[in-house]
Amino acid sequence: MTVDPFPPHPLHTPGIAAATADLTKVYGRGDTQVVALDRVSIGFREGEFTAIMGPSGCGKSTLMHCAAGLDSPSSGSVRIGTTELGTLGDRQLTRLRRDRIGFIFQAFNLLPTLTALENITLPLTLAGRRPERQWLDRVVSMVGLAQRLDHRPAQLSGGQQQRVAVARALVSRPAIVFGDEPTGNLDSRAGAEVLGFLRDSVRELGQTVVMVTHDPVAAGYADRVVFLSDGRLVDEMAHPTPDRVLDLMLRFSGGSPQTPACDARSRTS
Partner 1 sequence: MLSTALRNTLAHKARLVMTVLAVCLGVAFVSGTLVFADSTAEAHRAAASKNFADIAVTVTAKESPSGGAADRRSSVLDDALARKLADVPGVAAVEPSADGSAALNAADGTPLRVRAGANLAAAYVPGKDGKDSRYPLIEGHAPRHSDELAVDRGTAAAGRFRIGDTITLATDGPVLAKRLVGIVTTEDTRVTAGGTLALFGKATAQKLFASPGHYTGIDLSAAPGTDQFELARRVTDVLPADRAEATTGAAQADQQAILVDTLTRGYAKLPLVFAGVSLFIGSFLIVNTFTMLVARRTREIALLRAIGASRRQVARSVLLEALLVGLVASAAGFLLGLGIASVLPDVLSADGNTLPHGPLVIGPRPVVAALGVGVGVTVLAAWLPSRRAAKVAPIEAMRTAGQPPSATRSRTRAVTGLALLVLGAGRLVSLTGAKDASEENLHRAMLGCALLVAALIVLAPLLAAPVIRLTGRLTGRFGITGHLARENALRDPRRTAATAATLLISTALVAGLAVIGNSTGQALDRQAAAGLGADYVISSRTTTTGVDPAAVRRVADASGVRTATAVTDSTLFVGGGVRDISGVDPGTVNDVMKLDFVSGSVKELGPGRIAVSSTVARETGVTTGGRLNAGMGRNQEFEKYTVVGVYKDNPIAQDALGDRTEVAKNSYMPGSVQRILVRTDGSAVSKTTEKRLRTAVGNSPLVKVQDREQLVDEAAGTMADLLKVMYGMLAIGAVIGALGIVNTLAMSVAERTREIGALRALGMDRAGIRRMIRLEAVTVAAFGTLLGLAGGLFGAWAVGSLAGGAMEQYSLTLPWGTLLLVCLLSLAVGAIAAAVPARRAAALSPLEAVAG
**Three-state SS at 55:** coil
Q: Is 105 in the site for partner 1 (CB under 8 A)?
A: yes
Angle 116-127/90-100 helices, nearest 10 degrees?
130
Query: Whole-number minimum distance, CB 242 to partner 1, in Å?
Result: 25
Q: Is 127 in the site for partner 1 (CB under 8 A)?
A: yes
Which C-beta is closer to partner 1: that of 114 or that of 192? 114
Contact 261, 184 (CB under 8 A): yes
Which range, of 18-26, 43-51, 95-103, 252-260, touches partner 1 by CB under 8 A?
A: 95-103
Query: Whole-number minimum distance, CB 172 to partner 1, in Å?
Result: 9
Q: Is 238 in the site for partner 1 (CB under 8 A)?
A: no
Query: Whole-number minimum distance, CB 107 to partner 1, in Å?
Result: 7
Query: Whole-number minimum distance, CB 7 to partner 1, in Å?
Result: 28
Q: Using CA atoms, how far apart are residues 110 and 114, in angstroms rounded to an integer?
A: 8
Q: Using CA atoms, how far apart are residues 140 and 147, in angstroms rounded to an integer?
A: 10
The candidate with the shortest Cα–Cα distance to 267, out of 53, 14, 28, 74, is 28
Q: Is 113 in the site for partner 1 (CB under 8 A)?
A: yes
254 burial via Cβ count (<10 Å: 0-12, 13-18, 19+): exposed
Q: Is 168 in the site for partner 1 (CB under 8 A)?
A: yes
User: Which residues are registered as beta bridge partners of 212?
Assistant: 52, 180
Identify the H or E element spanning 141: helix 133-142
Interface contacts to partner 1, rule CB under 8 A: 61, 65, 70-71, 90-91, 94-95, 97-99, 103, 105-107, 109, 111-114, 122-123, 125-128, 154, 168, 180, 263-265
